Amino acid sequence: MSRLLGGTLERVCKAVLLLCLLHFLVAVILYFDVYAQHLAFFSRFSARGPVHALHPAASSSTNCSRPNATAPSSGLPEAPSARPGPTAPILPPCPDSPPGLVGRLLIEFTSPMPLERVQRENPGVLLGGRYTPPDCTPAQTVAVIIPFRHREQHLRYWLHYLHPILRRQRLRYSIYVINQHGEDTFNRAKLLNVGFLEALKEDASYDCFIFSDVDLVPMDDRNLYRCGDQPRHFAIAMDKFGFRLPYAGYFGGVSGLSKAQFLRINGFPNEYWGWGGEDDDIFNRISLTGMKISRPDIRIGRYRMIKHDRDKHNEPNPQRFTKIQNTKLTMKRDGIGSVRYQVLEVSRQPLFTNITVDIGRPPSWPPRG
């Protein structure tokens, strides 16, 4: 009987010992788990300020068991924190028909127009004349190219009217003023080629190019400065032509081409020095490549021109009619691939980017007899 009781008591003691050991193991596990939680909690506070190592010898390595641990600086650029930061909101696409458009506009050129006033009126426009809508994502990135020389007053009026129009149209755009250096004969089309190339050097994402004379202002903001499936002619009804096209093949004033369309016609001709002819050559290039010109409704394609005296260095090119007839022969060799120029200065102004270039001198023309 005593032997039976002794065996039972031994088994009970072993069971109690095993329970004590199990309790001890559970307590150890819980202790280290709570310790790790406290350590992670306090490390978040210490990460906000500079970390002072208590033991310099141990501070040369990172404790990889803690994701928020920081290593001392090694003089190299630090990697970004692994902790997720605030993400930018995903904006919806900009609407095809922007809701804030006004329609017909009153355009006048009699009031003084200092650049300071234009800058105050357009606080959302960034340095260099760049703008991105804050509430939607545009489908295109637009570069507006202006051939320029000695038209400062015209430029101020143009900026005064066009920046608000382009902003209401919900465009992501930049303004480039391509300024011809010197007093030699003006070359509009060559300056436009330069603007195309220089804009892409600054931002390769441009996929739409609007080419605009500095003295033309649209009279309706529903004339959207966008590119489509075909080259676009915007200025189809100027006041100086009685608000109608002067002739069916006219492509002057303001036009728009996508990057692919511009390259398809080899850009614009470089050999039209002086006034006239280059827009007809561009029209021929578009026709020869099988594309068709799209135009807005004449009710919204109206433009006002700022009156000015003709530049004495922008006289009509006496050879323009002969060149126009030979577009098919010249367009492959004369264009964006053959343009030669030298950039003299790039100046980012509050409302536009000014690029001053030397485009060379025209060839000598034989005297007209």
What does each of the 369 residues of the chain score in pLDDT, given as a tens digit? 555 555 666 777 677 777 767 766 656 565 555 444 444 433 433 433 433 333 333 333 333 333 333 333 333 333 344 455 567 789 999 999 999 999 999 999 999 999 999 999 999 999 999 999 999 999 999 999 999 999 999 999 999 999 999 999 999 999 999 999 999 999 999 999 999 999 999 999 999 999 999 999 999 999 999 999 999 999 999 999 999 999 988 999 999 999 999 999 999 999 999 988 999 999 999 999 999 999 999 999 999 999 876 655 556 666 777 889 999 999 999 999 999 999 999 999 999 999 999 999 998 755 444
Which H/E stretch holds residue 262?
helix 259-264
Query: What pLDDT, on a 0 to 100 scale, did the predictor assign at position 192?
Result: 98
Query: What pLDDT, on a 0 to 100 scale, did the predictor assign at position 367?
Result: 47
Contacts of residue 182, Cβ cutoff 8 Å, sequence gap at least 6: 358
> Is residue 242 left, alpha or beta, with left meaning phi > 0 and alpha meaning psi from -120 to 50?
left
b/e map 316-355, b = 16+ CB within 10 Å:
ebebbeebbeebeebbeebbbeebebeeeeeebeebbbbb
Query: What pLDDT, on a 0 to 100 scale, did the predictor assign at position 26?
Result: 57
Catalytic residues: 213, 215, 275, 278-279, 305, 308, 310
Query: What pLDDT, on a 0 to 100 scale, did the predictor assign at position 287?
Result: 96
Write the single-letter amino acid at 316. P
Query: What pLDDT, on a 0 to 100 scale, did the predictor assign at position 318?
Result: 67
Q: Can you identify the CATH homologous superfamily of domain 124-358?
A: Spore Coat Polysaccharide Biosynthesis Protein SpsA; Chain A (3.90.550.10)
Query: What pLDDT, on a 0 to 100 scale, did the predictor assign at position 62?
Result: 36
Are residues 268 and 192 in contact, defined by beta-carbon separation less than 8 angstroms? yes
- Per-position DSSP letters for 312-367, written without gaps between them: TT-PBPTTHHHHHTTHHHHTTTSSTTT---EEEEEEE-SS-EEEEEE---PPPPPP
Residue 258 bridge partners (DSSP): 208
Q: What six digits make up the tokens of 219?
A: 């009279």
Cα distances (angstroms) measured from residue 38 to each of 44, 69, 294: 10, 14, 69
Largest CA distance in the chain: 147
Instruction: Report CA dihedral (13, 18, 19, 25) to the nearest 10 degrees.
Output: 150
Query: What sign does the CA torsion over 76, 79, 81, 86 have?
Result: positive
- Other beta carbons less than 10 A from residue 58's beta carbon: 9
Instruction: Report CA dihedral (132, 134, 140, 141) to the nearest 10 degrees.
Output: 10
What is the residue extent of each domain of the chain? 124-358
Residue found by looking up tokens 């340095």 in the block: 127
Query: What pLDDT, on a 0 to 100 scale, did the predictor assign at position 131?
Result: 98
Query: What pLDDT, on a 0 to 100 scale, did the predictor assign at position 47?
Result: 38
Query: What pLDDT, on a 0 to 100 scale, did the predictor assign at position 143?
Result: 98
Gyration radius from the chain CA atoms: 35
Query: What pLDDT, on a 0 to 100 scale, did the predictor assign at position 315?
Result: 66
**What is the C-alpha separation between 274 and 282, in angstroms, rounded?**
16
Q: What six digits make up the tokens of 281?
A: 């050559």
For 302, phi and psi rounded to 5 degrees? -85, 145
Is residue 14 helix, strand or coil? helix
Query: What sign does the CA torsion over 311, 155, 222, 134 have?
Result: positive
**What is the C-alpha separation between 264 and 194, in angstroms, rounded?**
17
